[in-house]
Structure 1
Amino acid sequence: MGYSRYDPAMQGRPAWNAGRMVGTKRPLTQKQIWAVRFFLEREGRLRDRALFDLAIDSKLRGCDLVKVKIGDLVSGAEIRTRAIVIQQKTGRPVQFELTADVRSSLLAWLERRGGSIDDYVFPSRVNNLGHLSTRQYARLVDEWVTAIGLRREEYGTHSMRRTKASMIYKATGNLRAIQILLGHTKIENTVRYLGVDIEDALLLAERTEI
């Protein structure tokens, strides 16, 4: 339930977004991805490196990323090259690839983490049976981007989700493929999510010869 601006109880109360930068968060560039990886390697943060890598490759929403289980990623003694999870928001499955570098960092983390296929990949430090919270994930993202000199107001968990999708879109212009990778039900959602505008559309049109 919302509040009316005429409600006396609301007078003098700051807006929920006062002082915050709202709107679409920026994706990372290739250079920034490697800067974050270098920072996490230097600090010996094995879990965070695996979390960051999985966030970039999977393109999952934060609520789905923190709930990934070991069994979703592991096949025998190896990390899968592709994985599938059911999205919390839509209830529909989404598939993603796991590249060689990402598989390597995940394997290093899981070897240290231990556990069974029913355990979460990133457990809560408060309750080992639970998973890392989305709030803690957001705090970690703030820490990562700040560490490489970026403004935390301009980046967030959706930056992790958008990064690879934006790169693929710029390389191919294939919105339908991005829709599938992000697990969107409507192409319009993908257009809004990537921030595709008239300039993008015109550039794509100019590159298409008939």
Structure 2
Amino acid sequence: MALKKKRAAKRRAWNKGLEIGQRDAFTPAQVKRIRQVLAGRGVPGSIINVARTRRKPPVRCALSEATAKALGKWIAVSGKKRTGYIFSGRGAALPRPMTVRQMNRLLKFWVAEAGLDPKKYGKESLRRTKALHILNGTGDLETVRMLLGHAKIESTSKFLRIAKKSDPIAISCAFDI
């Protein structure tokens, strides 16, 4: 029993030294820098279906022209088949999809190579960035909520860090109609 306590005392917490919580979204300039980093490395339709796990239905995603072109080049160069994984994981024995951990490592490498702090950005930064750009362009929070798959508008505003600017009752009282 004493040996177990001694080992437990030496163990390091899994999240010690890690930043916990929401990550920042990328700015348009940062997205441009990351694209420049990726451009030197390496045409599907503009709307694709992305398969998900756990018996969930596929998600439809819209691709920009630049993304579709880059993805088309990647598929052509890598020799991927239509039924295979576009981004396969490590190991040549059985083709498997890239794991979340592998994707996080790759993203951190790209962010660092673009000259940004990898601790400030994660995979959710990509999702948040796209949603914020759509919101800034359209101003339609309901559409962004649907795209993100949130059930409540409050979840979307919290995810995008949109603070309540004022009290709706106070605004209503200010207008005499």
Which residue does the alignment assign to 2:141?
175
How far apart, CA to CA, are the structure 2 residues paired with 1:36 and 1:9?
Answer: 43
Q: Which of 35, 38, 44 is the matching residue for 2:36? A: 38
Task: Report SS of the residue matched to 2:84.
Answer: coil
Residue 84 of structure 2 aligns with which residue? 119
Counterpart in the other structure of 1:84: 49
Alignment equivalent of 1:140, drawn from 106, 124, 134: 106
Residue 83 of structure 1: SS of its match in structure 2?
Answer: strand
Q: Residues 96 and 131 from structure 1, CA distance in 2 versus in 1: closer, same or farther, beyond 3 angstroms?
A: same
Name the aligned partner's letter for residue 166 of structure 1. Answer: L
CA distance in 1 between partners of 2:124 and 2:60 (Å): 18
> Is there any run of 5+ residues in structure 2 with no aligned partner, and where?
none
2:147 is paired with a residue of what secondary structure?
helix
Q: Where in structure 2 are the equivalents of 1:34-113 lying within 5 Å?
A: 34-41=32-39, 44-46=40-42, 78-88=43-53, 91-113=56-78
* Residue 198 of structure 1 pairs with residue 160 of structure 2: no
After TM superposition, the score normalised by the length of structure 1 is: 0.68
- Cross-structure match for 1:25: 23
**RMSD, aligned CA:** 2.9
Matched residue count: 166
Distance 1:137 1:11, change over 3 A: same
Stretches of 4+ moved more than 6 A in 1? none
TM norm structure 2: 0.79
Structure 1: unaligned runs, 5 residues or longer? 1-6, 47-77
Q: Quick one: structure 1 residues 201 and 116, their matched pair in 2 at CA, closer, same or farther if it must change by over 3 Å? A: farther
Cα deviation, residue 139, structure 1: 0.6
Which residue identity does 1:164 align to in structure 2? K
- Greater relative contact order (CA < 8 Å, ≥ 6 in sequence): 1
* Cα distance between partner residues in 2 of 1:136 and 1:190: 27
Deviations 1:99-155 (A, max 9, x none): 111111011111112232210011223135112222111011111111122111110
